[in-house]
Structure 1
Amino acid sequence: MKRVSGRRQAQSTTSSTSPTTDNDTTVHIPPESDVQASVFSQVFARVESSFNHFRTVIHDPDARVAAIYAIDKDINEQLEVIDTARQLLHSHLARLNAFTPISVLPPEVLARIFYFLVFKDPACSRGQNLGWIRATHVCQFWRQVALDDSSLWATISGFSENTELISEMLARARNAPLDIDIHLDGMSGLEVLRMFPPHISHTRELRLHGPSFLYFRGVRCIYGREAPALEYFELRVSANSPIPVRNPGGTILFKGQAPRLRTFSLSQVLMPWSHIPRGQLTQLKIVLFKEISTADVPSCGDLNQLIGLLDNCPGLEVLVLENCLPPQLTEIPHDQTIHFPRLSRLCLVGSSSRITNLMKMLKLPSSTRFHLHCASETSSAHNVHLLLPAVSAQLQGPAPIEFKNLGVTLDCMDHPLAVTASTSVPASRIRKFQGFEDDMDDDDDEFVLSFDGLPEFGHRIDLLEGVCKMLPISNLEFLSISASGSLNWVELFKRCTKLTTLQVIGHGTSSLVRALATPKVTNTRRSWNCKRKGRESRDSRDSTPVQPARSTAGHAQAHIFPKLKFLSLKGLDFSEKEHPSGILFDVVEKGLRQRKAESKAPLRMLRIDNCAISARRAIALHMLVQEFHWDGKEGFDECEDVDDDELELELDPGSD
């Protein structure tokens, strides 16, 4: 009777405080705290009454046992009442959530929203960051929608620390195509690797980072199984020395059953070429930190296996081979041509002779992006020059390309010579020079050619001249040069008459700056005549001819880059001393005056960064261009002698 009355009382309390209409569409729910207070007050009253009764019979053993039994039974009944009230409250809350606008969305639409959330905020297996999974904690409806869509749980990324999360996501993904990108670390990495083999049959993308010798047994269990759904496979080893794979568990990885595999990538892994899947590959990337030698695994350096692999991948679109070319390529290979009609990107890193001989074997479209980083093996640069004809042959085609953007880096120290080119002009007027250690996949240039290990600076100059003659740069619009050693830049780029933007960095480019703004020939004649002052009459001085070499050079240099509009100077010293043609400031200032006087070729913008120039001289240059940018650094300009012509240009810094 007590259980029935308690339930009736709870029901009466609920019905009196939560009335509903006949169609049950409007629900009024009292505050949760009021419901809990009413239920608990009843429980406390009954417990207190039973406790008072227990105190009166505490000395009678039989009565004490009966009282304990009665209290225990009463507590259980009241707990049932509390559970009933809680369930009723949850039911009311669920009905209330059902009337919110987002709950009107069909489950498939809500699941699609979760799908975008997965890519924006993926669940991370490191720490307590659940990412998109937090959305499943909002309400029961959202959680059920997420659990019913297995594809939401199929993207697993992060680190191997949280093994419970990875295991739960694999279970909830069921048979959906898996996209796995895991960084293996510690003992948890071994545990995670053991989870993947049963799911490899429905894995679409698999990226494993950081495995070492400790993990390779687990990795072998993965690529030793058939992978009918696998499209992307990447294995990166973080060890300093490459890890050899001597027994992959068969002749070809995945037992040769990976018909959908398109991308295959290895980093710091020595694997026989014959074990790499082929046929349907569109991207092949093999990267080693150091070039392999004959002392390495013999099968990894087998030239015939490499040729067989490439010959069986005619659909390749991206080919990256870094420091993994076989040593046999140092010799001239047999007459054999490998066709890649769809190749859009070729990246080769290694000895110049190996790269040269492989380039001779390839037949590529003229639109292919080339990233070639060569190292000289001998003290002579003759073998490096052999690469240029092989590259030039690849650039020729029915649709020849024309580069509009060119970057040159030339250092007289141990840094390599590099030339980069592109058919598009950069959006920024300032080109960013990237280090050679940067990932070449991040470089957007269509042509990259660098040489390292050249013994003498003269060899680099010869190579640069050969590269500039080889490349189609007659329509060049953007030129950027960084050099610490000087050479005849005018001769290299005099054919680039359409150039509009020039960026020069380093003192090695000062000769090109002088050629852009050479003083008039009359200044040279006056300077030459001043040395003979007092020895000849005015008539004889006027009749004295100007030195032909100087006048001709001045006339030729004054017309270089006639369409130049934007000039950026960096790392130059405008206070050069003991230069035959005067300090650099005099040359630039007089040249800008001359260009400004010529309405057809005025300079629109001048930018000066990290140069040795005084504020007064910077202001003087400011007055000669439409747009002027200066970083405000005066550098080490120590020139104190100011002539009359310069005094006319030293303006008040506060003036316009």
Structure 2
Amino acid sequence: MVNNQVSEGYERPIQKLKVRRNALAPIAKLPPELLHRIFAIIKEESERLLQPKQSLTHPPTHDTQAALHALRAWNVVTHVCNRWRQIALDASTLWTNPPIRSRLWTMEMLKRSKTAGLALDLASDTSSSNRTVISHIKHIKTLKFQYDSAEALNFLFMGLSDEAPHLENLSIIVNVCHGSAFLLRGREVVRFLLQPLTFRGTKALRRLTLSGVDVRWDSALFHGLSHLSLRNLSAECKPTWRQLMDMLELMPELQALVLDSAFPLETPSSSFPLHLPNLKELAVYSVDAEVQSFFSRISFPPLERLYVGCRSAGPSLVDYASVITAVSRSCPFVDTFGVADIRKLKIHQRMASKYGFCIEVFRDLSRPNTFESNLEFLFGSHIDDPAIHPGNKIVRDVFGRLGFVNLTDLTIIAGTMLHARVLANTFGRLPRLNTVCISALISRKMINVLAMDTDDPTKKGLDDILFPTLHTIVFESVAFKPSALYDARVEDVQDLLIQRCEYGAPIQHLRFNCCPFLKRTDIARFSEIVPDVQWDEQEIYSFKLGDRGHGLGLGPFLIPCFGF
């Protein structure tokens, strides 16, 4: 009892001293407006770090948990002191992104946001809150839906007739790839149809994403957009070429356009191309005839990013060179693709994709490898003979049209089975290529391409060798297992290094990343030839895995995964 009284006697003076100290601290003198701005920056940064990264090349992914995680990250400012808490609670713009998965937080934040513009991310599994928050349509700025059921989305939109004057960004994704968006009832196909009056008065709308959604092509939603993405349209909903061009003509400020399986089935009539003067990013995916038809009907200025996905509609091979030519004619400028500025190129396979063969090019080497490419070609074709790899024709056609003479970095990812002659003829004479990154199934073949022909004594000059400016080789996920069928062997790499020294084109830098069968003695041998050798020291023993891979030397840990 006495101890409690003593403690209480000290606690009050101590609390008063803490309050006085806080009041005298320099940060306490910051005006509310500045603190509000600081809180807003913390909130924006938390949301940026926790939201899934968006890409022009892939459909947007919605993470309804991200808003809750971001809220927990920045909401700590309300627990620092009473003054900070009151400033945060009075700032309605801090509470505009309610975490839909938490109904209690959502209801509270709807109150705190007052009339500030809301950002809502709704999904099938948050239905308990969806109808409540969508009733605030008059105050919504960003509205995103990701549903697995067309019926559930139709039910959600019943009775939604209020205008949306502040809506700037609308995204509706019905997951047709999961097979549940189109529900069969006997012979009737139930699709989600966006009714013309569902969103009215959307004068502020600038970004529109529709995937697996049927829509009327005279909809007011298409007026004045700066960003448009249309994917996975049903055959019944696809526009005519005239409807598609008329729709695009309503968007003179259009900056980014994605069309994936959204082209007319009819043969286009000849007409004067529509010019998109402000276009900066364009992504087009379809069969070769539709891709060529589209690019014959539009023109645009030089783009920051251009992605073209092209596949064959039947058993015949795609004429990839004609596709490249059709694309280049859409730009009235000399260098449509910005070839002169291209510095890095990556060739790889996209598994389980209808566009399996991918060529990506980058202009800025200072960006991390995960940064979006500036130019991307995705190709897929029907091949009757599995021994014929379509990548060889693709590489010949693309590089026959685009030289990439200023290329300095080349990356060839596992699974790309290109012929040695194609590799040599395409890349062997590039005048500025100094770095080659190779991995897995292409490594042994690439070593053979880089090797010199020492049996010909007359060819000893720098002009007689392939890759004359090469000074760096990077091995990524190459096991170096002796019994592997496609892996490079240590002895072959050593011979290559010695041969290039003899020809006056020595390798200066070697990099080994995730090469588990390499040994320290191997690295020591390389270091006697190359002045700079770097190894991540990941040996097979550190993985504690058995001898697996069915002759390829590749366990599951060796296969890398690569992915508005």
Report TM bin, short chain: 0.7 to 0.9
Cα deviation 1:535-563 (Å, max 9, x = unaligned): xxxxxxxxxxxxxxxx67x8799522222
Which residue is equivalent to 1:203? 140
Which residue is equivalent to 2:128? 188
In structure 2, which of residues 69, 91, 115 is the aligned counterpart of residue 149 of structure 1?
A: 91
List aligned pairs for 1:454-603, cutoff 5 A: 454-455=382-383, 456=385, 457=388, 459-482=390-413, 483-488=416-421, 489-508=423-442, 510-521=444-455, 558-569=464-475, 571=478, 588-597=493-502, 601-603=505-507
- Give the residue type in structure 2 aligned to 1:566: T
- Give the residue type in structure 2 aligned to 1:450: L
Aligned residue for 1:502, secondary structure, equals strand
CA gap 1:557/1:466 in 2 versus in 1, 3 angstroms? farther
Tell whether 2:222 aligns with 1:278. Answer: yes
Deviation at residue 468 of structure 1 after TM alignment: 0.9
Q: Is the CA contact (8 Å cut-off) linking 2:312 and 2:380 kept in structure 1?
A: yes
The separation in 2 between residues aligned to 1:491 and 1:134, in whole angstroms, is 60
In structure 2, which of residues 367, 381, 384 is the aligned counterpart of residue 453 of structure 1?
A: 381
Which residue is equivalent to 2:35? 110
Aligned residue for 1:480, secondary structure, equals strand
Q: Is the CA contact (8 Å cut-off) linking 2:346 and 2:361 kept in structure 1?
A: yes
Which residue is equivalent to 1:44? none
The separation in 2 between residues aligned to 1:145 and 1:159, in whole angstroms, is 24
The separation in 1 between residues aligned to 2:325 and 2:441, in whole angstroms, is 32
Which residue is equivalent to 2:111? 171
CA gap 1:594/1:195 in 2 versus in 1, 3 angstroms? closer
Q: TM-score, normalised by structure 1?
A: 0.65
Cα deviation 1:608-645 (Å, max 9, x = unaligned): 45487776555333211111234565899xxxxxxxxx
Cα deviation 1:171-218 (Å, max 9, x = unaligned): 2322222233344525514xx323433x32232222233373224333
Aligned residue for 1:342, secondary structure, equals coil
The separation in 1 between residues aligned to 2:246 and 2:312, in whole angstroms, is 27
Which residue is equivalent to 1:314? 252
CA gap 1:350/1:143 in 2 versus in 1, 3 angstroms? same
Cα deviation 1:84-123 (Å, max 9, x = unaligned): xxxx99x989986984535544333333333334335579
Q: Is the CA contact (8 Å cut-off) linking 1:263 and 1:284 kept in structure 2?
A: yes
In structure 1, which of residues 225, 238, 248 is the aligned counterpart of residue 162 of structure 2?
A: 225
CA gap 1:576/1:366 in 2 versus in 1, 3 angstroms? farther
The separation in 1 between residues aligned to 2:499 and 2:69, in whole angstroms, is 66
Aligned residue for 2:530, secondary structure, equals coil
Cα deviation 1:33-90 (Å, max 9, x = unaligned): 4599xxxxxxxxxxxxxxxxxxxxxxxxxxxxxxxxxxxxxxxxxxxxxxxxxxx99x
Q: Is the CA contact (8 Å cut-off) linking 2:358 and 2:376 kept in structure 1?
A: yes
Q: Is the CA contact (8 Å cut-off) linking 2:306 and 2:376 kept in structure 1?
A: yes
Q: Is the CA contact (8 Å cut-off) linking 2:99 and 2:106 kept in structure 1?
A: no
Aligned residue for 2:99, secondary structure, equals strand
Deviates more, 1:113-122 or 1:492-501: 113-122
The separation in 2 between residues aligned to 1:499 and 1:592, in whole angstroms, is 17
CA gap 1:557/1:511 in 2 versus in 1, 3 angstroms? farther
Cα deviation 1:574-617 (Å, max 9, x = unaligned): 969999xxx97666544433433566x33111234548777655
The separation in 2 between residues aligned to 1:522 and 1:556, in whole angstroms, is 14
Cα deviation 1:322-351 (Å, max 9, x = unaligned): 2222322xx344324121122111112222
The separation in 2 between residues aligned to 1:568 and 1:467, in whole angstroms, is 25
The separation in 2 between residues aligned to 1:411 and 1:177, in whole angstroms, is 39
The separation in 2 between residues aligned to 1:238 and 1:458, in whole angstroms, is 32
Deviation at residue 158 of structure 1 after TM alignment: 2.4
Aligned residue for 2:199, secondary structure, equals helix
Q: Is the CA contact (8 Å cut-off) linking 2:345 and 2:362 kept in structure 1?
A: yes
Q: Is the CA contact (8 Å cut-off) linking 1:515 and 1:558 kept in structure 2?
A: no
The separation in 2 between residues aligned to 1:33 and 1:611, in whole angstroms, is 64
Which residue is equivalent to 1:353? 289
- Give the residue type in structure 2 aligned to 1:503: C
CA gap 1:165/1:510 in 2 versus in 1, 3 angstroms? closer
The separation in 1 between residues aligned to 2:223 and 2:520, in whole angstroms, is 65
- Give the residue type in structure 1 aligned to 2:508: R
Which residue is equivalent to 1:59? none
Aligned residue for 1:562, secondary structure, equals coil
In structure 1, which of residues 248, 269, 274 is the aligned counterpart of residue 195 of structure 2?
A: 248
Cα deviation 1:294-349 (Å, max 9, x = unaligned): 3xxx2444433222211211211111122222322xx3443241211221111122
Deviates more, 1:341-350 or 1:365-374: 365-374
The separation in 1 between residues aligned to 2:171 and 2:286, in whole angstroms, is 22
RMSD value, Cα = 4.2
What is the percent sequence identity of the aligned residues?
Answer: 21
Which residue is equivalent to 2:508? 604
Which residue is equivalent to 1:57? none
The separation in 2 between residues aligned to 1:96 and 1:612, in whole angstroms, is 65
Deviation at residue 388 of structure 1 after TM alignment: 2.5
Cα deviation 1:254-294 (Å, max 9, x = unaligned): 33x22221111123322233326233211001233xxx563
Which residue is equivalent to 1:268? 212
In structure 1, which of residues 416, 420, 435 is the aligned counterpart of residue 360 of structure 2?
A: 420
- Give the residue type in structure 2 aligned to 1:277: L
The separation in 2 between residues aligned to 1:335 and 1:426, in whole angstroms, is 42
Q: TM-score, normalised by structure 2?
A: 0.74
Aligned residue for 1:499, secondary structure, equals coil
Deviation at residue 517 of structure 1 after TM alignment: 2.6
- Give the residue type in structure 1 aligned to 2:361: A
Aligned residue for 1:185, secondary structure, equals helix
Q: Identify the structure with the greater helix proportion.
A: 1
CA gap 1:301/1:499 in 2 versus in 1, 3 angstroms? same
Q: Is the CA contact (8 Å cut-off) linking 2:318 and 2:381 kept in structure 1?
A: no
The separation in 1 between residues aligned to 2:343 and 2:46, in whole angstroms, is 40
- Give the residue type in structure 1 aligned to 2:252: P
Q: Is the CA contact (8 Å cut-off) linking 1:476 and 1:496 kept in structure 2?
A: yes
Aligned residue for 2:296, secondary structure, equals helix
The separation in 1 between residues aligned to 2:223 and 2:531, in whole angstroms, is 59
Which residue is equivalent to 1:305? 243
Q: Is the CA contact (8 Å cut-off) linking 1:124 and 1:159 kept in structure 2?
A: no
Q: Is the CA contact (8 Å cut-off) linking 1:514 and 1:588 kept in structure 2?
A: no
Tell whether 2:243 aligns with 1:337. Answer: no
CA gap 1:422/1:578 in 2 versus in 1, 3 angstroms? closer
CA gap 1:572/1:99 in 2 versus in 1, 3 angstroms? closer
The separation in 2 between residues aligned to 1:35 and 1:423, in whole angstroms, is 66
Which residue is equivalent to 1:619? 524
Cα deviation 1:392-412 (Å, max 9, x = unaligned): 334672455322211223699
Which residue is equivalent to 2:172? 235
Aligned residue for 1:374, secondary structure, equals strand
CA gap 1:172/1:31 in 2 versus in 1, 3 angstroms? farther
Aligned residue for 1:561, secondary structure, equals coil
The separation in 2 between residues aligned to 1:107 and 1:458, in whole angstroms, is 65
Which residue is equivalent to 1:67? none
The separation in 1 between residues aligned to 2:162 and 2:72, in whole angstroms, is 31
Q: Is the CA contact (8 Å cut-off) linking 1:486 and 1:508 kept in structure 2?
A: no
The separation in 2 between residues aligned to 1:313 and 1:385, in whole angstroms, is 30
Q: Is the CA contact (8 Å cut-off) linking 1:98 and 1:104 kept in structure 2?
A: no
